Amino acid sequence: MGSMFRSEEVALVQLFLPTAAAYTCVSRLGELGLVEFRDLNASVSAFQRRFVVDVRRCEELEKTFTFLQEEVQRAGLVLPPPEGRLPAPPPRDLLRIQEETERLAQELRDVRGNQQALRVQLHQLQLHAAVLGQGHSPQLAATHTYGASERTPLLQAPGGPHQDLRVNFVAGAVEPHKAPALERLLWRACRGFLIASFRELERPLEHPVTGEPATWMTFLISYWGEQIGQKIRKITDCFHCHIFPFLEQEEARRAALQQQSQELQEVLGETERFLSQVLGRVQQLLPPAQVQVRKMKAVYLALNQCSMSTTHKCLIAETWCAARDLPALQEALRDSSMEEGVSAVAHRIPSRDMPPTLIRTNRFTASFQGIVDAYGVGRYQEVNPAPYTIVTFPFLFAVMFGDVGHGLLMFLFALAMVLAENRPAMKAAQNEIWQTFFGGRYLLLLMGLFSVYTGFIYNECFSRASSIFPSGWSVAAMANQSGWSDAFLAQHTMLTLDPNVTGVFLGPYPFGIDPIWSLAANHLSFLNSFKMKMSVILGVVHMAFGVVLGVFNHMHFGQRHRLLLETLPELTFLLGLFGYLVFLVIYKWLRVSATNAASAPSILIHFINMFLFSHSPTNRPLYPRQEVVQAMLVVLALAMVPVLLLGTPLHLLHRHRRRRRRPTGRKEDKAGLLGLPDASVNCWGSDEEKAGGLEDEQEAELVPSEVFMHQAIHTIEFCLGCVSNTASYLRLWALSLAHAQLSEVLWAMVMRIGLGLGREVGVAAVVLVPIFATFAVMTVAILLVMEGLSAFLHALRLHWVEFQNKFYSGTGYKLSPFTFAAAED
């Protein structure tokens, strides 16, 4: 957990891997996930690298695995997860895996092809049987004629010139949308010298390829003459019709079809049984082979980032590794290379590149670190806002979402996910919304818990106040001393409690807001004043804390001049103006009592007069010589602007000129750099110093325009941001009131109406069941989901814009270690 406050120290390590043990060493590093490889062959294309052939073989195997996996899924089967932790196989096993996989794939292709062909034949037989079973017969077909053929017989009377001609038949099936066009074309092409009967199948048949039900239109055509027959065959071929032989003897037709159908079904059954056996072997081979080939491909891709030594006896790799993991790295290389009888070497080297950021997280801190990283990954060893976000983010959310009931529901929902987090079903869920909630379960847990806390402070539970402690206001004392009569009470529906009357105000409520305020007519005005001032106080404290955190960055990066030239002016400007506003609020709370509340001065008018250097005769001061103090604070704050604008650039220019005048020895600098692997840590502090040329000591050139421009942007952003950011924290007040009023409206429009509908026990029970269900659904949908998402986004903005920009740049990049975790998943 020590690395949570600042990223860990990361070192650049050079590895010398003997060629014989390079694969084994990299495979071992992938299992541990300790290092991130740097690409030493960035100028070499991917097709010219040393291990490109091995990578291609792995990719070809992955294509074959994809085919096998699709076939398994097509059969409705599920691939089991691989058993145990499989290491990356040695290179010699790649040929064995490839042979077994190709043999299974070819066998599966053959069986699938045979099955497909048999299904097509069976479908043709079923369609043939359906055509014959549709009731088409020569006698029935002869009764169907067209146009003039109804008056003119197709066959002449016996004894005519065509008495020796034989009537032929064409039977088949066509898709329903093609049937009308086929019928018209046959009639026009054959000039009516045919008799055709079209009927739609009553029961759809399964398509042999897609497996979906398909309807067909069967037809039977009777004709005579060879020329007519040729035309009919050509037309049916153009329409892709299925043509079947039509024997005049019905018994012969059915016997032949039945025999062929039985034989095909037997052969198809044997084929499917053999196919299930092949798929069973695929289920056993595929899961471990997939993992092993993925790991092997990852190893070869990592080896492609290494460079070959001049002697061609070892590979040279450069990796980023956490300093605390260097002993484990040495041990892993030693154990892996000893099997081959050689020794791999690793040693730390200096680097002028900014190292990657490494912050170790667990299941609790991961969601909070994710919030910070969504803004931007921190620079190397920059102060990490995540530990403070664990407290401030749920608290600011709860300020806007404060309600005991709503917070308790959110807390219980998150607690259920936390208790069941180790169940496989929870992790295996594919729903994206569920995965989002499950990933942030600890964040939701704290958000709900803090909401319960602020709900007790606001004294709100589903918008209802609760009297946990006795109220600090006494109506009896007011009634006894004011002489309220029955007539007075009848005429005045609203009564005023005067705290100046003895015994009316007994003292503050022990915790939170007194429940009697929920009955007061000025309840909303009181909460407005309270929450608005609370938001300003929280905002100023939050921003000041962000400025103070910048001190740790300046101290760590060796930029102590920024403490006087940036941090001190920023704190003076912020606290001199808005910190003074917080002081006025607290001072008025402590000094003004109920006796002189009517003549209390306005803080807002005092704050406006502070900038105008004026005073209002009707607004008396809070303390003696207040105008002098306010004028001094404004002048002091304005005096910090030129210091903030010019201090750092002038200091950098002075230091740069002093370095150019002072002679330096090249050898001493180089020796010092080799002696301190992280000697360049101090040059990662800011963009101004990068512009000052600290990364290139040979010819350091400061660009004054860039430094002044950057500092001017920073000064304007901070000074104007103090005003806008302080106003931005008023969203705490606005959303808190909106949440409370929405809860009140939902209670008044649903539950209050339901409770007033029926006075009898039975009627009330029947009425309240649907009303309570409606209230529960609307509470979850509107107040928990919609309002919760709104408060979450506003809290996110307060942390990203108002808090983190005071000290956090977020311009780094994560350490992405080489690991087999993705391959195993």
Q: pLDDT higher for 134 or 177?
A: 177
Asked if 528 and 614 count as a contact pair (C-beta separation under 8 A), the reply is no
Tell me the mean pLDDT in the region 644-651. 92
Point out the least confidently predicted range of 32-36, 171-175, 237-241, 754-758. 754-758
Give me the sign of the Cα torsion angle 546, 551, 552, 557. Answer: positive
Within-domain flag for 50: yes
Largest CA distance in the chain: 140
Bridge partners of 214? 205
Within-domain flag for 300: yes
* Pairing status of strand 205-206 against strand 307-308: unpaired
Asked if residue 407 has pLDDT above 60, the reply is yes
Within-domain flag for 318: no
pLDDT value for 690: 45
pLDDT band at 694 (very low <50, low <70, confident <90, very high): very low
Asked if 359 and 8 count as a contact pair (C-beta separation under 8 A), the reply is yes
Q: At what angle do helices 366-375 and 386-401 cross, to 10 degrees?
A: 90
Asked if residue 149 has pLDDT above 70, the reply is no
Q: How far apart are CA 603 and CA 609, in angstroms?
A: 10
Long-range (24+ apart) CB contacts under 8 A made by 604-607 are 606/630, 607/581
pLDDT band at 695 (very low <50, low <70, confident <90, very high): very low
Asked if 494 and 449 count as a contact pair (C-beta separation under 8 A), the reply is no
Asked if 324 and 8 count as a contact pair (C-beta separation under 8 A), the reply is yes
pLDDT band at 301 (very low <50, low <70, confident <90, very high): very high
Q: 571, 555, 453: which is closest to 512 by C-alpha?
A: 453
Asked if residue 700 has pLDDT above 70, the reply is no
Asked if 319 and 37 count as a contact pair (C-beta separation under 8 A), the reply is yes
Within-domain flag for 18: no
In 33-137, which ranges are continuous DSSP H helix?
Answer: 52-74, 93-132
Asked if 538 and 586 count as a contact pair (C-beta separation under 8 A), the reply is no
Q: How far apart are CA 69 and CA 41, in angstroms?
A: 35
Asked if residue 679 has pLDDT above 60, the reply is no
The position carrying tokens 């091995």 is: 54
pLDDT band at 467 (very low <50, low <70, confident <90, very high): confident
Q: What DSSP string runs through 413-441?
A: HHHHHHHTTT-HHHHH---HHHHHHHHTH
Q: How far apart are CA 757 and CA 686, in angstroms?
A: 68
Tell me the mean pLDDT in the region 102-121. 88
Tell me the mean pLDDT in the region 683-692. 46
The position carrying tokens 């089967």 is: 77
Asked if 813 and 377 count as a contact pair (C-beta separation under 8 A), the reply is yes
Q: How far apart are CA 733 and CA 798, in angstroms?
A: 13
Task: Record the tokens describing residue 731, joined without a space.
Answer: 């969203």
Task: Record the tokens describing residue 440, joined without a space.
Answer: 């942030």
Asked if residue 128 has pLDDT above 90, the reply is no
Point out the least confidently predicted range of 90-104, 254-268, 335-349. 254-268
Point out the least confidently predicted range of 254-258, 315-319, 321-325, 606-610. 254-258
Tell me the mean pLDDT in the region 244-268. 73
Within-domain flag for 259: yes
pLDDT value for 252: 64
Asked if residue 389 has pLDDT above 90, the reply is yes
The dihedral over CA atoms of 617, 621, 625, 630, expressed in degrees to the nearest 10, equals: -90
pLDDT value for 243: 84
Q: How many domains does the chain have?
A: 1
Tell me the mean pLDDT in the region 472-492. 76
Within-domain flag for 494: no
pLDDT band at 388 (very low <50, low <70, confident <90, very high): very high
Highest mean pLDDT among 245-254, 587-596, 790-799: 790-799
Tell me the mean pLDDT in the region 328-335. 91
Task: Record the tokens describing residue 586, joined without a space.
Answer: 């607290």
Phi/psi for 473 (5° steps) reads: -110, 140
- Tens digit of pLDDT for each residue in 752-768? 877 777 666 556 667 78
Buried b (16+ CB within 10 A) or exposed e, 718-754: bbebbeebbebbebbbebbbebbeebbebbeebbeeb
Element housing 711 (H / E): helix 704-728
pLDDT value for 197: 84
Beta-carbon-side half-sphere exposure of residue 689 (alpha carbons within 13 Å): 18
Q: How far apart are CA 739 and CA 747, in angstroms?
A: 12
Tell me the mean pLDDT in the region 221-230. 83
pLDDT value for 143: 39
- Tens digit of pLDDT for each residue in 415-461? 999 999 888 888 777 788 888 899 999 999 999 999 999 999 999 99
- Tens digit of pLDDT for each residue in 494-518? 777 777 777 778 888 889 898 888 8
pLDDT value for 137: 52
In terms of Cβ atoms closer than 10 Å to its own Cβ (0-12, 13-18, 19+), residue 567 is: buried
pLDDT band at 206 (very low <50, low <70, confident <90, very high): confident
Beta-carbon-side half-sphere exposure of residue 316 (alpha carbons within 13 Å): 11
- Alpha-carbon distances, residue 421 vs 236, 360, 429 (angstroms): 64, 20, 12
Contacts of 468 (CB under 8 A, 6+ apart): 511
Asked if 364 and 341 count as a contact pair (C-beta separation under 8 A), the reply is no
Q: How far apart are CA 483 and CA 479, in angstroms?
A: 6
Bridge partners of 308? 315
Q: What DSSP string runs through 456-504?
A: HHHT-BTTB---SS--SB-HHHHHHHHT--HHHHHH-SS----TTSTTT
Q: How far apart are CA 350 and CA 369, in angstroms?
A: 29
Point out the least confidently predicted range of 191-205, 682-696, 737-751. 682-696
Q: How far apart are CA 422 and CA 435, in angstroms?
A: 14
Within-domain flag for 796: no
Polymer length in residues for the chain: 825
Asked if residue 380 has pLDDT above 50, the reply is yes
Asked if 337 and 21 count as a contact pair (C-beta separation under 8 A), the reply is yes
Q: How far apart are CA 419 and CA 474, in angstroms?
A: 46
In angstroms, how far is the first alpha carbon of the chain from the final one? 27
SS3 219: strand
Asked if 385 and 371 count as a contact pair (C-beta separation under 8 A), the reply is no
- Alpha-carbon distances, residue 820 vs 34, 124, 291 (angstroms): 11, 51, 9
Q: How many helices (H) and strands (E) does the chain have?
A: 30, 11
pLDDT value for 248: 60
Tell me the mean pLDDT in the region 578-594. 90
User: What region does 613 belong to: left with phi over 0, alpha with psi -120 to 50, or beta?
Assistant: left
Within-domain flag for 349: no
pLDDT value for 504: 78
CB atoms within 10 A of CB 385: 27
pLDDT value for 164: 52
Q: 345, 355, 299: which is closest to 23 by C-alpha?
A: 299
SS3 12: strand
Task: Write out the residue range of the structural domain in which residue 94 sits.
Answer: 41-135+166-305
How high does pLDDT run on average in the chain? 84
